[in-house]
Chain A
Amino acid sequence: MTAETQIDSYLSSLRLQLGPLTLAEREEIMREIGAHVRDSAEESGASVETVLARLGPAEELAAQYRDGVLIRKASRSLSPLVLLRATLRLATKSAFGIVVCFCSVFGYSFGAGFVVIALSKAIVPAHTGAWIQDGRLVSMGAFVYGVSPQAHEVLGMWIIPLGLIAGSLTLLFTTLVIRTSLRISQRWQSRL
């Protein structure tokens, strides 16, 4: 394989792996990496093969670009799907990512839970509420079979606004925590 075909095959494999980026971004990256390989080989007198080895596999280089774009987009996004996808990716890379991923699943489920309780009060009021027995909270939420008859319900219709507020605050807080964590994680991503 001649030097030029080696460079071409590295670049085309890079192009393939850079799928999610825009065409213009991909072209720019390929031009830049191509220039790096030619300059580096010329400067050190090393073979193109050596220079490509120092650059690392095309998949790994592309993954660093892709992660950068994924996390950058997510850290500005409000969509739980986009944010969860980015935290999942982060979880494959570090213990910090696993913690963030766990917290975000927990936060989203909790927030959604509050909203579901508020909605179900409107639909099945008798089965939804917060029940107190002997001075302590025995159950709270929406129940198919109802709660023990000795307990009495305390919140009434207040559970709707309370559930909605608690739910949206939890969802908002989770979103902010994920976005901050993603921003912090960008600093630690690069490989030495």
Chain B
Amino acid sequence: MAKQRAQAVEGDQSDRWEAQLRKGALEMATLASLWQRRLYGLEIIRFLERNSRLVLAEGTIYPILSRLKAEGLLTSEWVEAEAGHPRKYYSLTDAGRQRLRLMAEAWASFAAGLSCLLEPVLEKQEEPQ
């Protein structure tokens, strides 16, 4: 019973750790989704679901977009659509592109460093008992 609880607590903590990790990556992922072309909010949400494992509460993306825009990393424009209502499209500014490039480089070198470190840990798991 106590052991079960300990395991549950452990699981809970690693969930929380993973959630923190995802939160940290969300801003970069949002910028990255706009690398190739402009998108509106719902398209960004779907893009992130499809291309990364970042599934988010749908409301979350909008305050982030508004903050990134206030920081000058994104611009937005309203575009009329055949749906009958206009949609707010976001695109990267030059500052946004530059920031994203820096983030991507930092992320890649950080991940590469950690992968080396974690290699033995993951190998051990695959060994037959």
Interface residues of A (CB under 8 A from B): 28-29, 31-36, 38-40, 42-43, 51, 54-56, 60-61, 64-65, 67-68, 72, 186-192
Contacts and interface: CB of A to CB of B under 8 A. Distances in A.
A39 B83 contact: yes
Given A32-B41, A72-B71, A192-B57, 18 more contacts: A35-B40, A35-B41, A36-B58, A38-B85, A39-B42, A39-B83, A39-B87, A43-B42, A56-B58, A64-B60, A64-B63, A65-B66, A68-B67, A72-B70, A186-B67, A190-B23, A190-B64, A192-B22
Contacts of B24: 187-188
For chain B, what secondary structure do more than half of its interface residues adopt (helix, strand, loop), or is it mixed? helix
Nearest to B26: A190
A190 B88 contact: no
Chain B interface bracket (under 10, 10 to 19, 20 to 34, 35 or more): 20 to 34
Interface of A is mostly: helix
A65 B22 CA distance: 20
A29 B59 contact: no
B12 to A, nearest CB: 15
Interface in B13-62: 19-20, 22-24, 26-27, 40-42, 54-60, 62
9 contacts: A32-B62, A56-B59, A190-B23, A190-B26, A190-B64, A191-B57, A192-B54, A192-B55, A192-B57
B86 interface: yes
A192 B64 CA distance: 12
B85 A34 contact: yes
A36 B83 CA distance: 11
B86 to A, nearest CB: 7
A35 B63 contact: no
Contacts of A55: 57-59
A32 B63 CA distance: 11
A188 B20 CA distance: 7
A56 B45 CA distance: 15
A72 B62 CA distance: 16
Given A68-B67, A72-B67, A188-B20, A61 B88 contact: no
B60 A192 contact: yes
Contacts of B57: 54-56, 191-192
- A-B complex: 7 closest residue pairs judged by Cβ atoms: A64-B63, A56-B59, A61-B59, A55-B59, A68-B67, A54-B58, A32-B88
